[in-house]
Amino acid sequence: MIRNILIFTATMQKGGAERVISLLLKEYMKDNNLNIHFIQMEDGSDYELPKDIKQIILSNSNKSGIRKLIELPLVAWQLSKYIKENNIDIVMSFLYRPNYINILARLFSTKHRAVINIRSTTSRYLNEGLLGKVNLFLINNLFNKADLIASTSKGVDKDLKSLVNITTDTKVIHNPVDIEYINYKKEICEDIKFNFKEDIKYIISVGRLIPLKRNKDLINAFNQLQKNDNNIELIFLGEGILKNDLINYCEELKINNKVYFLGNVKNPFYYLNKSDIFVMNSEIEGFPNVLVEAMACGLPVISSDCKSGPSEILKDEKYGYLYPVGDVKKLIEKIKIVLYNDINLENINKQNLDRIEDFKIDKIMKVFGEVV
């Protein structure tokens, strides 16, 4: 019997959840027993989607956070109409707003199975003012009406349950990584022809340039290190509201000739593969895909020990290095270990590959297959 599955998300612009959705769509489309539908709430796509997928976009406009919340019932009604007209059996939603709408659609007499995916810690809403309070209210009143809550890590699952009395079924499903795709892409430059010099060691960071990512911590650490080492440089991949501020800060420190902001690139794996150390400085994460992707490229990895994800992936420094969030001094110590200690890079690469076997796409897809 063929089942109609709807994947529902906010957008497909750069992000961890969006990358996971692109992988899921490709895998689900291979299953002849599944008829896949795909709806985005807003326009925008930075990921390659299967050619045969029908992509429905509900809105082409950017709206404020308050307006997006006010319009939840209207969008839920639109979704319910689509569910009924297309005999949708399961709606799998990603991120908080689509999750609310998935559940609210049932108020309009739909009988679909509602599977909601949460990708970040719920406790972040405790510090987000009125919008945070509204989100916590919706989470408290809607999430137990879902058929299944899938969390991207044990930390995300634990965090949710620390704030909400969850009575519905839950499951931890880690993000998948397409190792074959990464191995193919990491040798191909599809973007900026950056000149990697043989006598330079490159530290690389990949992600949005926003306050939560604490990019300035890495700049400060690099600034101290480069005073005694003229053979290191720093690369940032990604865009964000802090980009100009960070560029200006590097100019103030007079290190702008050693720090490169390459923006969003289609193929980050090429730059990861050419670099020497990957560093992530986040204040909060769910399950950081890029950490696993850096490991897949054979890099030694250093991450902040933020609330969810990194310590789970690295198994408390068995597969990489952790430092306390915001502790630049400790970050410098960890970078020095990788730069100046006689570490076995071949052994690190082997350990990385052993660890990321747990996140291979076929293994994770089996878990997602149990959900649908």
Report DSSP letters for 86-137, one per residue: TT--EEEEESHHHHHHHHHGGGGT---EEEEEE-S-GGGGGGSHHHHHHHHH
Q: Look at residues 153, 173, 193 and tell me which one is the last residue of a structural domain.
A: 173
Indicate whether 48 and 161 sit together in one domain.
yes
Indicate whether 78 and 168 sit together in one domain.
yes
Lowest mean pLDDT among 238-247, 251-260, 322-331, 354-363: 354-363
> What is the spatial distance between Cα 208 and Cα 283, in angstroms, rounded to a whole number?
12
Helices (H) and strands (E) in the chain, counts: 15, 13
Residue 366, domain member (yes or no): no
Q: Which two tokens stand for residue 354?
A: 């052993």
Quickly list DSSP for 262-291.
EE--S-HHHHHHH-SEEEE--S--SS-HHH
Indicate whether 264 and 315 sit together in one domain.
yes
DSSP state of 15: S
Residue 111, domain member (yes or no): yes
Tell me what pLDDT residue 370 has.
80
The per-residue pLDDT for range 110-153, each reduced to its tens digit, is 889 999 999 889 998 998 888 899 999 999 999 999 999 999 99
Indicate whether 232 and 335 sit together in one domain.
yes
- The CA radius of gyration of the chain, in Å to the nearest whole number, is 21
The per-residue pLDDT for range 28-74, each reduced to its tens digit, is 888 888 899 999 988 877 777 888 888 888 776 666 667 777 888 98
Indicate whether 195 and 310 sit together in one domain.
yes
Q: What are phi and psi of 240, to 5 degrees?
A: 165, 170
> What is the spatial distance between Cα 8 and Cα 110, in angstroms, rounded to a whole number?
15
329 falls in which pLDDT band (50, 70, 90)?
very high
Indicate whether 202 and 121 sit together in one domain.
no
**CATH number of the domain where residue 141 is located:** 3.40.50.2000
Helix axes 72-85, 96-104, angle to 10 degrees: 60
Indicate whether 226 and 262 sit together in one domain.
yes
Could you write out the three-class secondary structure of 187-235?
Answer: CCCCCCCCCCCCCCEEEEEECCCCHHHCHHHHHHHHHHHHCCCCCEEEE
> What is the spatial distance between Cα 24 and Cα 30, in angstroms, rounded to a whole number?
10
Query: Which of helix, strand or coil describes residue 329?
Result: helix
Quick one: how far is CA 43 from the chain centroid? Answer: 19
356 falls in which pLDDT band (50, 70, 90)?
very high
The residue range of the domain holding 326 is: 180-359
> What is the spatial distance between Cα 232 and Cα 201, in angstroms, rounded to a whole number?
5
For the chain, the average pLDDT equals 91
Q: Look at residues 173, 197, 227 and tell me which one is the last residue of a structural domain.
A: 173
Indicate whether 146 and 45 sit together in one domain.
yes
- The upper half-sphere exposure of residue 164, i.e. CA atoms within 13 Å in the direction of its Cβ, equals 25
Tell me what pLDDT residue 11 has.
85
Tell me what pLDDT residue 295 has.
94
Report the candidate in 329, 183, 352, 364 with the shortest Cα–Cα distance to residue 278: 352
Indicate whether 157 and 205 sit together in one domain.
no
Q: How many folded domains does the chain comprise?
A: 2
Cβ contacts of 353 within 8 Å, gap of 6 or more: 295, 296, 298
Residue 364, domain member (yes or no): no
Among left, alpha and beta (phi > 0; psi -120 to 50; other), residue 309 is left
Indicate whether 263 and 163 sit together in one domain.
no
pLDDT of residue 157 exceeding 90: yes
The per-residue pLDDT for range 237-261, each reduced to its tens digit, is 999 999 999 999 999 999 999 999 9
330-347 average pLDDT score = 92
Cβ contacts of 346 within 8 Å, gap of 6 or more: none
Report the candidate in 162, 127, 366, 175 with the shortest Cα–Cα distance to residue 286: 175
> What is the spatial distance between Cα 174 and Cα 176, in angstroms, rounded to a whole number?
6
Residue 370, domain member (yes or no): no
Residue 372, domain member (yes or no): no
Residue 123, domain member (yes or no): yes
**Among residues of the chain, what percentage have pLDDT more than 90?**
65
Cβ contacts of 224 within 8 Å, gap of 6 or more: 328, 332
The per-residue pLDDT for range 3-29, each reduced to its tens digit, is 899 999 988 877 778 888 888 888 888
Q: Look at residues 152, 173, 194 and tell me which one is the last residue of a structural domain.
A: 173
Indicate whether 210 and 98 sit together in one domain.
no
Q: What are phi and psi of 327, to 5 degrees?
A: -90, 90
Q: Which two tokens stand for residue 222?
A: 């690099």
On whether the CB atoms of residues 18 and 12 are closer than 8 A, the answer is: yes
Q: How many angstroms separate the Cα of 140 from the Cα of each of 133, 274, 297? A: 11, 45, 40
Indicate whether 227 and 351 sit together in one domain.
yes
Residue 371, domain member (yes or no): no
Quick one: how far is CA 317 from the chain centroid? Answer: 21
